[in-house]
Structure 1
């Protein structure tokens, strides 16, 4: 970044400070999400925002090899005490946090000391893959479904904070003040919620947000989760986004919705292919389906993910697709988008959108075609292909996939594999109950 750009960012941030002062903001949280899906943070007092915008805030690159329990491994390309990066806030996404009085938030991009993008910057990778699609004449719109459970706040065990039935209005009534405060906070932060409802598991809720460009969709996913966490704490409750909160229960998903656009037209609608798909949307979806096992290393990246990713739990455990089929890894929402159901919220949302777009673009380039859709529960079909049943198999599929490893780059892809295997080692001797307990409050 040259001197002129640095001073422009400093001046822009200084202008924002005046407005933030009027809203009683005293500090700004700068977040990024690590390879294990944990949102990390460095914060600056409000007066330090112009300096942070211009020069960045220091952060060690060792976070690239943090596991979800804060264990630090030594990878092939990362680890150790040497080095420094600069966190640079995206001022366009600067948001006053309604659930945390006195605070504002901005997602950060990571750069080296010379101002070059860090080769393992997750947000930067998402932007780079979106730019590749733009070069080919396409845009993507994306959005996440966020599922979480609300527990009583005074115990490490999970005790649901509501006892009403699955999808039942009684559950929503029990926590109506909590839900109203949450939805108000999100609206105040300019997050457009499409719907909110109680989900299947005890104390579980879900909300989905309006589609955005993929980088901003990942930003919004982070903002939504941290807002849920903050509002829960203010109500004396505790939120978990873990893929398996209780070993024998239904887990939390983090489904991704993605649509492909060209010249203002949604290519998932108005075509002559399956259920109105255009050839390009068919190819995009086929690219994602072909790489679904490898994508699990990104979108279902924890050991606990594979306690959730089982048949007949609407988790999308089979590498098939179908129209409104909630047991398929890819559910086509006719005339709208593709839902990837095998992902969960232990994933880094920036890596999720990056990898899914890369897979879809490869499908377009290769002119791939979807197989026959599956219109039944795939568990009843003898030849239905299961997705990986453990994290090790997903990592092996990822390492063997040239499209994804090329999109990530050697250093990034190998560090992802190192981190995943580090977690596998940490939980090697754990029972499902122990895995659920040790991951319950990490995400």
Structure 2
């Protein structure tokens, strides 16, 4: 029995790889990169020459399980169930997302799932977790459309932001128009639908957003966008940082998650009897997300540096509240101009997060809200920092990790091994920076993401 599969059997994967090998060879591709994201939010990769794509698709390539406990500095945490230096996994590429890389000639990329040697899914696989949560939504007759904004700071070889022109300013756009055009061309050349590309607030900061997809696909696309931006930047002699904070007193790199809940082709965030057109299921789902936000920060704001970004009155969503088009609320409701555009934005997550953990965790929280029939609290219509009653989200990694440790919905959804691995990594990251200044934290993580 072939257990190493989600939608394709081993034979189907081999056939798919043979067809892809022929096509990629014709396009001048020499090798394929398989990527996954660890619990610290770092992308790890292995690659094979094109001639090895078929056996890699059939049987996977070796991948050490110890990376489940890797920290952002490549040191390791420990857990009672961790394997340490022993054991091995199989990294199996998802060839449905196989993409020639426009900014890395001769290379293609595919996201990968991780399996045990006997072909069973690895319980610590973050992409597998996101898929399980998406399937749980689908069993309710529902679906989710999602997208994650990608923000980054681009710097010169010395690490100085490449532009200090005004936020959203045309002068910043003009200074880097050739660079941004190549980013746009590379993304669209890889089959992505770019919605917006613009300068952001901080020095050297830009943002791109792409069309919504299913949750797992949106996480895959987020990784592809980040890889592409980094590669284009390197071709221009520039460095990229996705770190939550690049420098003190500057706005950081968010990883805002947009999502909408659907049933039978209808967006449940539009045209309903509830506040701002919400249908009951959409309100219950969003109420579940809002309820679990303190714990979800351990997934979506995973670094000590994340909490230097997550401060009031800086568009980061530092308070547990919701509001229509309220950019200081952690959960921003967006009605849009059409039914298809209505969505909710989770603003408190940042670009250091593993996007598979983010989408899976949010789906799990939303389903818990549906199960409990939760309702959204009163809407916040102003900057919550001006209200005595506003509830601040955790202001440090230890606080968020404490909330995560108490979250029954996340514990159930993640499963023991992945839950414990995330907990161990967060505790170890917090301990690593316990005695560091803000400047030390920023310096330590600036080029790790």
TM-score of Structure 1 vs Structure 2, range by shorter chain: over 0.9
1:411 to 412, 417, 423: 417
Contact 1:166–1:198, Cα closer than 8 Å, also in 2: yes
Does residue 437 in structure 1 map to residue 437 in structure 2? no
Match of 1:105 among 102, 109, 115: 109
| Count of residues in Structure 1 that have an aligned counterpart in Structure 2 | 440
How far did residue 377 of structure 1 move?
0.3
Residue 215 of structure 1 aligns to a residue whose secondary structure is helix
1:189-209 superposed Cα distances (whole Å, 9 cap, x missing partner): 011111011000001101111
- Rounded to whole Å, the distance in 2 between the matches of 1:224 and 1:197 is 15
Cα deviation for residue 8 of structure 1 reads: 2.5
Q: Alignment partner for residue 356 of structure 1, among 356, 362, 379?
A: 362
| Aligned residue runs from structure 1 range 371-390, under 5 A | 371-390=377-396
**Could you say which residue in structure 1 is the equivalent of 2:27?**
23
In structure 2, C-alpha distance between the alignment counterparts of 1:324 and 1:8, rounded to whole Å: 46
Q: How many Å separate the matches in 1 of 2:236 and 2:415?
A: 44
SS at 2:149 equivalent: strand
2:152 is matched with 148
- Identify the range of structure 1 (36-45 vs 73-82) with the bigger mean alpha-carbon deviation: 73-82
Shift of 1:239: 0.7
Q: CA deviation at 1:427?
A: 1.2
Question: What runs of 5+ residues in structure 2 fail to find an aligned partner?
Answer: 337-341
Tell me if the contact between 1:33 and 1:39 (Cα under 8 Å) persists in the aligned partners.
yes
Could you give the per-residue CA deviations for residues 271-290 of structure 1, whole angstroms, max 9, x where no partner exists? 01111111111111100001
Match of 2:192 in 1: 191
2:124 matches 1:120:
yes
1:235-268: CA deviations, max 9, x gaps? Answer: 0001111101102211110000010000010000
Q: Distance in 2 between matches of 1:267 and 1:40?
A: 37
2:73 matches 1:69: yes
User: 2:271, 2:20 → 1: CA distance?
Assistant: 44
Deviates more, 1:407-416 or 1:337-346: 407-416
**Are 2:8 and 1:2 equivalent residues in the alignment?**
no
After TM superposition, the structure 1 = structure 2 runs for residues 9-408 of structure 1, keeping only pairs within 5 Å, are 9-153=13-157, 155=158, 158-335=159-336, 336-408=342-414
* Partners of 1:77 and 1:239 in 2: CA distance: 36
How far does the alpha carbon of each residue in 1:80-100 deviate from its partner, in whole angstroms, 9 at most, with x for none? 111000000001000000010
Q: CA deviation at 1:334?
A: 1.3
1:350 Cα deviation from its structure 2 partner: 0.3
Name the CA distance, whole Å, in 2 between partners of 1:319 and 1:202: 28
Q: Once the 2 structures are TM-superposed, how far is the Cα of residue 79 of structure 1 from its aligned partner?
A: 4.3
Deviation for aligned residue 1:384: 0.2
Q: List structure 1 segments (4+ residues) > 3 angstroms apart after TM superposition.
A: none
Q: Distance in 1 between matches of 2:426 and 2:315?
A: 25
Q: CA deviation at 1:10?
A: 1.3
1:291 is paired with a residue of what secondary structure? helix
Cα pair 1:99 1:185 within 8 Å, conserved? yes
Q: CA RMSD in A?
A: 1.1
Per-residue CA shift, 1:377-398, capped at 9, x if unaligned? 0000001000000011111111
Secondary structure in 1 aligned to 2:148? strand
The answer as to whether partners of 1:76 and 1:418 remain within 8 angstroms in 2 is no
Q: Aligned partners of 1:137, 1:8: CA distance in 2, in Å?
A: 28
